Every structure is written in structure tokens, then in C-alpha cells.
Amino acid sequence: MKSCTSVTVSLALLLGANAHKHGKGGNAPGETLILSDSFNLLDHDLWEHEITAGGAKGGNWEFQYFTNNRTNTFVSGGALHIQPTLTAQLFTEDGVTGVTPATLDLWGSSPADACTSNAFYGCGRSSNAIAHMSLPPVQSASLRTAESFSFRYGRVEVVAKLPRGDWIKPSISLLPARNVYGAWPSSGEITIMQSRGNAPGYAAAGDDAGGGCNVVSSLAHWGPHYSQNKWPLTIGSVAAPAGDTFADDFHTYGLFWDQDILYTYVDDDSNRVMSIAFNESASMWEKGGFEGSGMANPWEGGSAAAPFDQRFYISMSVSVGGVNGYFIDGMEGKPWTDSNGQAAMEFWNATSDWWPTWSDSALQVESVKVWQGDSGSNGGSYAAAGMYYRAAEGVSALGGAPAPSRSSSTPAGPSQASIAMVAGAIGLCVGIVATALARQANTRMLRYQEL
């Protein structure tokens, strides 16, 4: 296991000098808000549900399948909840284990409920006890803006309260809108936040600093091939003070990203978690030590920031378990073994051990906001709107070309629509100020320990 110091040093080698101070809960000078959702309701035009049993990113063989169900995604108390539940609530225990063979059919029959990925048998699973086949024991959700919103360069802030519960893994990520440089991880991936729902003190190994819901990590995936993924060079973690966890309160998980630097933070720009500097003298190809490897450089012709110089979309998910080593075999009472082809069944057989810890197991998201600077970006995209926000009375889009007149004979002067737009803008400003003041008063600023 790398020591905490060695991880910090490896990040320091990539840290650039372009620090960008930023106050909690608002934009910095020169930044314009281009997306804001405060989750007064779940906007299905912005957030697409992934429908698949193939995993959060694919290949980790996690123990959940993702679906579009109000049991798993709903708005309550001013926050979006992503809530994992038991598959047995729909299929019965015998259906999950295959004592009574069952089929999980996610193919769908219309565009609205079509399976989003068949990788790793994502669109259909069957259980059969004789054949030692089981259904994913957990039903959960993953939301993304892949078809509605993407951006290149800017600032992201997600205000969220993390789940508590053994073997739960919440994640907030940016994924490439187009695989400009090739398949994963050649086109990059940025994990703004990931954590474990286990109790504080959960141990880990390798390049991971460990920790349960008292620790959050950020990392970037990049490399010319999945076997050459250099994420260990770009990972960082922070821990809450002793006695605190990130499942106790709402906190801000942020990212700043431009053509010179990419970094993540918690609650305030000064609480940095992970940072990567981009410069022509040391490209990502050189940072990865790929020169002389004989492999082709997929980022040839790209900028110094490649592959992180293209448009990315937002993804938020709650997954469970998996066999990729994020939860280490033989540690902290882990009830399954990664190399066992029956890992999901082993996990399910230990339900009586982990299910009682899931009393507060939802990822709760209060808001998602994206800002962009006045220059150096390629703009964000949400339909034709320059700014998208969710207001209490509905959806409003500001910016872009004005709407054409419905009639050439309409007299000049303020219309009902323009009056409503001005009123809505005033209301938005008042709401933003009120939210900032309330958050400043009610949300504790923690003293973080860099791991």
C-alpha cells in the first residue's frame, strides 16, 4: 500500500501554479452560470436514467442494476434521492437466488424505457439455482446528462449528503460526451467524488487511502488502453475531522477545469483533493511515462490537456460492491471474494449483516451547478439555452436568441411573457441569495485532513 505521503507527493508533482480562489456556494468573478438544478422536481429532460445491469461504468460486476423507478429516484425535502433497494422486493428472494428461476428483462419496448447498455449482459439477466445464476441483489439508479448537457472547461459544484451503509459506493463523475480519443480510458473520465458507505475507519490497500463515509476521493482515468490506466498518478483523498462524516451533512463537491489546470475540492476551493496541471512541456502522454512504450499516442494532435480538452457530461450514481478491488478481499468483514464467480450470491447471503446498516443509504443531492469563464471555453450545451435552471414554478431558459413574435400586428411594449421572464429572473436572484445565506448559516465548514 502506498503511504498517504507518497500519494500526496505524486499529486504535488502535477500541481500547477494557477490556483483559482473560489468562495463556497457561488461563482468566482468572470464566471457565468450555465446550468443550475435545485431539484424542486426531477427533470427527466435533463437527467436520463441509465437502464442496465452492466454496472456504473462497466466491467466492475457490481451487485446492482440501474433502473428508472420512483422507489430509487425521487425528490423529497428539496433534494434528489438516489436510493438503493433490494431486488427481492420485486422478484422475491427465491427469484433473486434462482430457487424459482426469474428473468430481469431491461431491453424495454420504447425509447423511454430502452436499455442503455448491453455491455456485460446489461440488458438481461436470469436466475437459476441449479446453474448457480442469480439476479443482481440490489436495485439502484444512475442519472446522467449525456444527451442533454455537456461542457468543456468550467466549474462544477454538487451539494450532496452521502449515503451511509456497508458496501455502498456513491459517485459523481464527468464522462466524455464523445470518445474523441478512443474507448475508455483514452478519452478520459473525471471522478469528482467517490466514497464508501462503510463506517469510519474502513481500511483499504494499494493506491487508495481507504476510509468509509468519513473520506472522499477524486481521481481521473486516462491512458491509451484500459491496461495502461494511470489513475494512481491522479488520485487524492480528504478525511473529515474525527467524529464527523460526509453522511452527516450536506457538503459541496467541486471541480475547476480549464486549459491549464484541473482540480477538485470539498466545500471551498482551498480544500483541494486532486489536481492536474496541463502544460506543453509535459503532456499527459509524458506524465504517464508512455514514451518509448511502442504504443500509439491517442492524444497526438490534441492540446496539452488531452484527453481532458473535450466536452464531458455529468453522471451521478449509487452502486454496491463489485469485484474490482475497491473493497479489499478479507478486510473489514467483506462477505464476498472478488475471484469467486458467485460474488453476488455471497453478498446476498450476508444480507442480515449489511442490510441493518442501510438506514440512511440514499445519496441526497440538493443542487448541481455549472459555471464557465468568459474565455477559453467551448460553451455548455443545453438545447439552445445559454442558461438553464429549475425554478419552483417550472423550467425557465434564459439566453440565446429572443423568441419570434407571434403576430406582426402585436403592439410594442412588454408582453405577458417578458414580464413573467423578468419576474422569474428577480425571483431566481432572490432565491440564490437566500440559499447562499442559509447554507452559510447552517452548513458547517470542516477542517479537512489531506490523505
**What's the pLDDT score for residue 210?**
74
Higher pLDDT, 98 or 375: 98
Residue 204: per-residue pLDDT: 63
Q: Mean pLDDT throughout 90-112?
A: 97
Q: Which three cell numbers stand for residue 256?
A: 475547476
User: Does residue 125 register a pLDDT over 60?
Assistant: yes
pLDDT for position 71: 97
CA gap 50, 47 in Å, rounded: 9
Q: What is the pLDDT of residue 201?
A: 82
Does 74 score more than 60 pLDDT?
A: yes
Using the predicted structure, report yes or no on whether residue 143 has a pLDDT greater than 50.
yes
Query: What pLDDT does residue 448 have?
Result: 52
* Confidence (pLDDT) at 415: 45
Q: pTM for the whole thing? A: 0.81
Q: Identify the pLDDT of residue 209.
A: 61
d(CA 340, CA 87): 21
- Percentage of the chain modeled with pLDDT above 90: 70
Tell me whether the omega of the peptide bond preceding residue 200 falls within 30 degrees of 0, making it cis.
Answer: no
Specify the pLDDT at position 29: 81
Give mean pLDDT, residues 230-257.
Answer: 96
- Residue 205, pLDDT score: 54
What percentage of the chain reaches a pLDDT higher than 70?
Answer: 76
Mean pLDDT confidence for 328-338: 93
- Rounded mean pLDDT of 362-378? 84
Q: How confident is the model at residue 14 (pLDDT cuts 50, 70, 90)?
A: very low
Which of the residue ranges 191-195, 226-230, 285-289, 371-375 would you say has the lowest mean pLDDT?
Answer: 371-375
Q: In which band, very low, low, confident or very high, does the pLDDT at 282 lie, cut at 50, 70 and 90?
A: confident
- pLDDT of residue 435 exceeding 50, the answer is no
pLDDT digits (tens, 9 = 90+) for 388-431: 433 333 333 333 333 333 233 333 444 444 444 444 544 544 44
Looking at residue 407, what is its pLDDT?
A: 32
Q: Which domains does the chain have, with CATH numbers?
A: 4-384+444-450 (2.60.120.200)
Residue 378: the pLDDT is 52
Q: What is the pLDDT of residues 186-228, one digit of tens each?
A: 999 999 999 999 999 887 654 466 789 999 999 999 999 999 9
Q: Is a pLDDT exceeding 70 seen at residue 23? A: no
Query: Lowest mean pLDDT: which of 77-81, 143-147, 391-395?
Result: 391-395
Statement: residue 250 has pLDDT above 70 = yes
State the average pLDDT over residues 11-34: 53
Using the predicted structure, report yes or no on whether residue 21 has a pLDDT greater than 50: no
Tens of pLDDT, residues 169-180: 999 999 999 999
Distance of alpha carbon 339 from alpha carbon 386, whole angstroms: 49
Residue 353 has pLDDT above 80, yes or no: yes
- Indicate whether 58 pLDDT > 90: no
